[in-house]
């Protein structure tokens, strides 16, 4: 604790640039627990960049942690590129605009050309800008769907997807060499602009992005005559302008925006958890729906890379659809329509994260579409698209998705994109509405054809310094004392992505998992049921991904309940 108090005192003395930090540090003087939480570690830089609570200290998002990371990134870029450049975007979160400006000043001081969005924009727009300007890297200031107290700093490489493990590790090595108070170069913003080191991107970049999104329509004329009625909430984030523009382009004329959640606001006053995966994010939209009675409710998260929906349930109300359901339904729509129109490539390929529903793989098989399962993290999908593009096969890519409400059709971005996702969901809804079907009915017909796949995620939070140790202990314990069954079902295959070994429990035979190493354990049970245990890469959580397959929802739910109960026991 003596070292931590010394660090605290150094910050109290030197952290003068942001007056909020000084005030916060003064307020915790003498409180060992509060000091420990802010200084027991430095925010780690990984493939997802930095993420943490906004505030003072090495374990917080603030001017010094952001600029230290940017200085390290600058050193990395100057080593690997002769004339490096970078694109920067930011969302509606507290201090996102401020951090973006300060990061730009550090990069400019290191001789790196910066292209800066002049207002908040979705994460996929940042991915697009990297490739549009052919920059060496990209940064977006966002904490995605986390509560208001968080912010984050995500780094991208020249391909437009998040840094690989190797790139992040090398960058982190440079970051650790930077002193918080003496090692950061910076320069005056106006001077950097006048010297051409910082340049604001024009509206034409967003227009070019939307043009590429439009190319993903498979039935471009279906919407304008469908009379589709949509309630949309950007959850006080970045989706408001681009999503409304793209819906207008495809002909959705009746778009009702939730007024309390329309404008950017990093406090998220009506939605403390601005995550379209949870029902609370739809509360205001559902209240509006009582009067408007729309066909569809859309919600995009603050950085507009995820989109969730609620659809008519047939009983006068609305039901939320899961990311797995939307991903499977969207894939079924794209494949069926491309095949009908003769535009489905014979070497077509679709992809998902390995924790997402296996229903998608079954659907792809019906259309003779190659299917790949990749590690969680959209960068792996971005890598695959880049490989296809290098082979001249970019048009083979149909779509990729993650169960956490992230979808991408097209190759305009190398990250999940709620703008193209929102567009295709509305197009799909219009297509089926013309046939007299709701999206809920369409999903039911898919289950009738392929079986009911019940997918759910249980999250277990472990806060603070002791939480990290607890999470590591749980994963180590599972490897040291291998379970024999879950939910009363025998384990048939154990996939350990950390050792890259897949083990058949019947005969003990093993095979190699041809994916990057990751601290994940996957257990396949009888009849294709699954449980996957994975520590989050961005939050202090372990997640258990459950797959339960039954002839109907009740049968699958009963299996899932047993698996969840066993997962709960593991996390105690």
DSSP for 321-371, please give it: EPHHHHHHHHHHHHHHHHHHHT---TT-EEEEETTS-THHHHHHHHTT-EE
pLDDT band of 570, cuts 50, 70, 90 = confident
Does pLDDT of 335 surpass 70? yes
pLDDT confidence tier of residue 27, bands split at 50, 70 and 90: very high
Question: Which pLDDT tens digit goes with each residue over 178-234?
Answer: 999 999 999 999 999 999 999 999 999 999 999 999 999 999 999 999 999 999 999
Q: What average pLDDT does the segment 83-112 reach?
A: 98
* Residue spans of beta strands (DSSP E) within 72-208: 85-90, 113-116, 137-141, 150-157, 198-200
Q: Considering only CA atoms, which of 381, 328, 383 is closest in space to residue 353?
A: 381
Q: Are 175 and 69 in contact (CB under 8 A)?
A: yes
Q: Please give the pLDDT value at position 316.
A: 87
The mean pLDDT of 502-513, rounded to a whole number, is 93
- Distance (Å, whole) CA 475 – CA 470: 9
Least confident of 77-81, 309-313, 568-572: 568-572
At 466 the pLDDT is 81
Q: Is 217 helix (H, G, I), strand (E, B) or coil?
A: coil
Give pLDDT, residue 323: 96
Would the pLDDT of 538 be above 70? Answer: no
514: exposed, middle or buried (C-beta count within 10 Å: 0-12, 13-18, 19+)?
A: exposed
Average of per-residue pLDDT across 264-291: 96
- In this predicted structure, what is the pLDDT of residue 476? 93
Report pLDDT for 165.
86
| Residue pLDDT, tens place only, 445-458 | 999 999 999 999 89
Pairing of strands 85-90, 198-200: unpaired
Mean pLDDT of the chain: 95
Confidence of residue 536 (pLDDT cuts 50, 70, 90): confident
**Is the pLDDT at 387 greater than 70, yes or no?**
yes
Examine the pLDDT at 322 and tell me if it is beyond 70.
Answer: yes
Question: Can you tell me which residue has the tokens 């290098």?
Answer: 390
The mean per-residue pLDDT over the stretch 263-275 comes to 96
pLDDT band per the 50, 70, 90 thresholds, residue 19: confident
CA distance 546 to 567: 9
28-48 confidence digits (pLDDT tens): 999 999 999 999 999 999 888
% of residues, the chain, pLDDT over 70: 99
Q: Please report how the helices 418-433 and 240-250 are oriented relative to each other, as an axis angle in degrees rounded to 10.
A: 30
SS3 content of the chain, % helix, strand, coil (to 5): 40, 20, 35
Would the pLDDT of 479 be above 70? yes
In 10 A of CB 30, how many CB atoms? 6
Share of the chain above pLDDT 90, in %: 91
- Output the pLDDT for position 537: 67
User: In the prediction, which pLDDT does 155 show?
Assistant: 97
pTM: 0.92
- Catalytic residue of the set 144, 353, 356, 438: 144
Active-site residue flag, 158: no
Examine the pLDDT at 1 and tell me if it is beyond 80. Answer: no
pLDDT tens per residue across span 100-135: 999 999 999 999 999 999 999 999 999 999 999 999
């Amino acid at each position: 604790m003596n070292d931590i108090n010394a660090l605290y005192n150094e910050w109290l003395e030197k952290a003068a640039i942001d007056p909020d930090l000084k005030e916060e540090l003064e307020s915790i003087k003498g409180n060992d627990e509060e000091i420990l939480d802010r200084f027991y570690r430095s925010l780690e830089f990984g493939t997802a960049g930095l993420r943490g609570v906004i505030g003072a200290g090495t374990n917080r998002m603030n001017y010094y942690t952001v600029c230290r990371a940017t200085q390290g990134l600058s050193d990395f870029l100057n080593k690997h590129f002769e004339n490096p450049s970078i694109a920067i975007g930011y969302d509606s979160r507290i201090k996102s605009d401020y951090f973006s400006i300060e990061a730009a000043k550090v990069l400019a001081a290191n001789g790196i050309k910066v292209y800066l969005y002049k207002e908040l924009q979705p994460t996929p727009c940042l991915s697009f800008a990297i490739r549009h300007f052919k920059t060496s890297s990209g940064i977006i200031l966002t904490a995605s769907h986390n509560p208001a107290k968080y912010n984050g700093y995500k780094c991208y490489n020249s391909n437009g997807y998040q840094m690989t493990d190797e790139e992040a590790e090398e960058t982190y090595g440079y970051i650790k060499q930077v002193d918080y108070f003496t090692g950061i170069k910076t320069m005056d913003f106006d001077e950097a602009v006048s010297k051409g080191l910082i340049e604001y991107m024009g509206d034409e970049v967003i227009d070019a992005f939307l043009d590429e999104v439009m190319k993903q329509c498979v039935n471009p004329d279906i919407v304008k005559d469908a009379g589709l009625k949509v309630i949309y909430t950007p959850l006080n984030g970045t989706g408001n302008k681009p999503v409304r523009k793209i819906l207008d382009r495809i002909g959705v004329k009746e778009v009702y925006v939730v007024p309390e959640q329309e404008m950017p606001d990093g406090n998220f006053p009506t939605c403390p958890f601005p995550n379209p995966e949870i029902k609370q994010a739809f509360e205001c939209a559902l209240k509006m729906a009582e009067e408007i009675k729309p066909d569809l409710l859309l919600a995009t998260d603050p950085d507009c890379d995820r989109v969730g929906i609620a659809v008519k349930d047939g009983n006068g109300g609305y039901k939320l659809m899961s990311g797995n359901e939307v991903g499977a339904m969207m894939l079924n729509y794209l494949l069926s329509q491309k095949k009908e129109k003769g535009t489905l490539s014979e070497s077509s390929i679709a992809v998902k994260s390995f924790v997402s529903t296996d229903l998608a793989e079954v659907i792809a098989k019906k259309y003779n579409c190659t299917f790949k399962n990749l590690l969680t993290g959209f960068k792996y999908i971005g890598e695959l698209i880049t490989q296809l593009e290098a082979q001249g096969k970019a048009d083979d890519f149909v779509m990729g998705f993650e169960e956490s409400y992230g979808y991408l059709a097209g190759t305009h971005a190398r990250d999940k994109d709620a703008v193209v996702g929102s567009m295709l969901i509305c197009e799909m809804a219009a297509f089926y509405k013309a046939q007299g079907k709701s999206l809920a009915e369409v999903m039911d017909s898919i289950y009738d054809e392929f079986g009911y796949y019940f997918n759910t995620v249980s999250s277990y939070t472990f806060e603070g310094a002791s939480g990290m140790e607890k999470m590591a202990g749980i994963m180590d314990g599972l490897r040291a004392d291998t379970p024999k069954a879950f939910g009363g079902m025998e384990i048939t295959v154990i996939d350990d992505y950390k050792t890259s070994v897949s083990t058949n429990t019947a005969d003990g035979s093993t095979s190699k998992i041809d994916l990057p190493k990751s601290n994940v354990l996957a257990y396949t049970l009888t009849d294709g049921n699954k449980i996957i245990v994975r520590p989050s890469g961005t939050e202090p959580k372990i997640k258990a991904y459950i797959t339960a397959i039954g002839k109907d929802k009740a049968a699958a739910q009963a299996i899932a309940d047993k698996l969840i109960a066993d997962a709960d026991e593991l996390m105690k």
